[in-house]
A and B are shown apart, each in its own frame.
Chain A
């Protein structure tokens, strides 16, 4: 069981999950996995309009969307959810997709999902992603038309050759000294216990 410590405890007994899938059998697969994880309330929608109706009526703790639902309408649905002022606007969303066409990769990145998982789904992968949500410290960002978790998992400073655009971007490569190195004597003097003169 790589990736998940089998002794990690999780409590999903009060969680409410919405599964938005294009196929009944795929929805059954996800529902069985969620029930196995102890989720008490599993709701399903097999079309985007049905899902949107449920999102207006109820608050969920996790939403799992196959973006190919209703002829690829899952992308629009998620983007509109993030722009809405409803109770589910910032709920964690996992996008689960089968075969991905090249043009859908950027689309998936820009919809505002917390994670993207490719099918075939295994309980292990899905559990890993749910546990990641619990640890995820990324802020939500609103920039241009995008609202969703920061798409950068790791901050590595501005791109090489650029000064960056943010106030806290470092102006030179990380680790570069901005003044002459100290001599070993100077370093020794700084860390040597000093007798205090009174």
Chain B
């Protein structure tokens, strides 16, 4: 029979959190959001660089390009999402699902291209500033992903 050992390690974080002073959760969230705003431009420039990298990887025949594209799309998913670019984040997530567990010689090139084109479109000022246009791009992409899965 498997033996189970249970114990309660001391967690310093619990004591620190409860110490007097500090700030309210409301203040903490406001300050965190201000901090995020201060790096917004820099991070979105990073997202654009990753989109360029993704485009180059899709066109290349580099070894492990599927893995590299997956990593790139995963970072775009997280970083675009952290700054409220929900549609771009969702498109990157869809690309991650497409690339998940696929060998390089079986990569669905046309579906990858459509995803990258959609992501680039979502960064264009005329689309990024228009909620209906963003929703339309994402809806088209979801239809494609569904067909690809089916």
Task: Let me know if B146 is at the binding interface, CB within 8 A.
Answer: no
We find that the number of chain B residues with CB closer than 8 angstroms to chain A is: 56
We find that the number of chain A residues with CB closer than 8 angstroms to chain B is: 57
Residues of B within 8 A of A89 (CB): 9
Taken together as a complex, chains A and B put the C-alpha atoms of A134 and B14 apart, in Å, by: 5
Residues of B within 8 A of A22 (CB): 71, 75
Taken together as a complex, chains A and B put the C-alpha atoms of A190 and B147 apart, in Å, by: 69
User: Are B33 and A13 touching (Cβ within 8 A)?
Assistant: no
Taken together as a complex, chains A and B put the C-alpha atoms of A185 and B73 apart, in Å, by: 71
User: Are A92 and B25 touching (Cβ within 8 A)?
Assistant: no
Question: Given A32-B39, A119-B82, A133-B11 in contact, is the A142-B4 Cβ separation under 8 Å?
Answer: yes
Task: Let me know if A122 is at the binding interface, CB within 8 A.
Answer: yes
Question: Given A1-B29, A90-B9 in contact, is the A26-B75 Cβ separation under 8 Å?
Answer: yes
Could you jot down 27 A-B contacts, CB within 8 Å? A8-B24, A10-B17, A10-B25, A10-B28, A12-B16, A23-B75, A23-B79, A26-B79, A28-B39, A29-B39, A29-B43, A29-B78, A29-B79, A36-B32, A36-B34, A62-B13, A90-B11, A92-B13, A99-B97, A119-B81, A123-B28, A123-B32, A127-B29, A130-B17, A134-B14, A134-B18, A143-B3
Query: What residues of chain A have their CB less than 8 Å away from a CB belonging to chain B?
Result: 1, 4-15, 22-26, 28-29, 32-38, 61-62, 68, 89-92, 98-99, 101, 119-124, 126-127, 130-131, 133-134, 139-144, 150, 165
